[in-house]
């Protein structure tokens, strides 16, 4: 993969850790923000411009491939979107910037294949903490079709990734709804004007509307 990239590198956590994160500013991507094929931005942290300038070497560009390189989420990868462009990553997330020979989205999806995921596992030596170094990432074996074919494959998989992300969000919403119903229906002396039958009907309609066709 080293022959297909212009950058392979990760960032670092700003001095002060969580205490320096802000509610606005430059997005700061951590491993929990990188899913398998999609970003998870519900709890995205931010840093101010002063800290961003100190970490300028890890500034994100749209279509950078992000790869988790440590811990239990090692191997998870996603594409940097316009939403996080100009942000930064910490030391647990690697930025892989593709050159003109490969589509970034194709590369991101290729890393998700069993071939590369198994290769990542093979590089782990059984130490106390899993981790990938940059030379190992550059050694990933990649087979390339033409750019036109790469783009077709990437477009198809993008649509599936979008659907997966949507379904995951629906599942999380339903879990929260279930917890709320349990609290209401199983708490003694709770007064409510809602009817469980109405709730079931609403859930059924939602499931039907979101069914995969």
pLDDT above 80 (res 89)? yes
Residue tagged 């020979």 (tokens) = 101
Closest Cα to residue 58, out of 80, 78, 87, 24?
87
90-116: average pLDDT:
95
- State the average pLDDT for the chain: 87
- CATH for the 2-143 domain, from 3.90.220.20, 1.20.140.10, 3.40.50.300, 3.30.43.10: 3.90.220.20
- Quote the pTM value: 0.74
Q: Residues 6 or more apart from 170 whose CB is under 8 A from it? A: 206, 210
Does the structure show a pLDDT above 90 at 95? yes
pLDDT of residue 193: 53
User: Cβ-count burial of 91 within 10 angstroms (0-12 exposed, 13-18 middle, 19+ buried)?
Assistant: middle
| pLDDT score at 83 | 95
Choose between 36 and 128: higher pLDDT. Answer: 36
pLDDT tens digits along 22-64 = 989 999 999 999 999 889 998 899 999 999 999 999 999 999 9
- pLDDT digits over 135-190, tens only? 999 999 998 888 889 988 888 888 887 888 788 888 888 888 888 888 777 777 65
The structural domains of the chain, with segments of one domain joined by +, span 2-143, 145-213
Rg from Cα positions in the chain:
21
Pair of tokens at residue 29 = 């991507």
Tokens 């590198």 belong to which residue?
9
- Say if strands 5-10 and 77-79 run parallel, antiparallel, or are unpaired: unpaired
pLDDT of residue 194: 56
35 token code pair: 């899913």
């Amino acid at each position: 993969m080293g022959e297909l990239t212009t950058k392979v590198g990760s960032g670092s956590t700003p001095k002060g850790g969580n205490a320096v994160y802000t509610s606005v500013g430059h997005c700061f991507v951590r491993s929990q923000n990188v899913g398998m094929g999609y970003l998870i931005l519900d709890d995205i942290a931010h840093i101010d411009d002063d800290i961003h300038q100190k970490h300028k070497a890890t500034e994100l560009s749209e279509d950078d491939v992000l790869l988790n390189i440590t811990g239990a989420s090692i191997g998870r990868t996603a594409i940097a979107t316009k939403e996080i462009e100009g942000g930064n990553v910490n030391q647990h997330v690697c930025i892989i910037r593709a050159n003109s020979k490969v589509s970034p989205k194709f590369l991101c999806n290729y890393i998700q294949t069993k071939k590369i995921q198994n290769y990542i596992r093979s590089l782990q030596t059984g130490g106390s903490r899993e981790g990938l170094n940059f030379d190992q990432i550059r050694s990933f074996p990649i087979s390339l079709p033409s750019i036109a074919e790469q783009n077709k494959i990437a477009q198809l998989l993008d649509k599936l990734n979008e659907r997966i992300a949507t379904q995951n969000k629906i599942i999380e919403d339903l879990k929260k709804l279930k917890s709320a119903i349990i609290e209401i229906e199983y708490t003694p002396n709770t007064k409510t004007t809602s009817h469980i039958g109405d709730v079931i009907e609403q859930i059924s309609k939602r499931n039907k509307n979101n069914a995969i066709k």
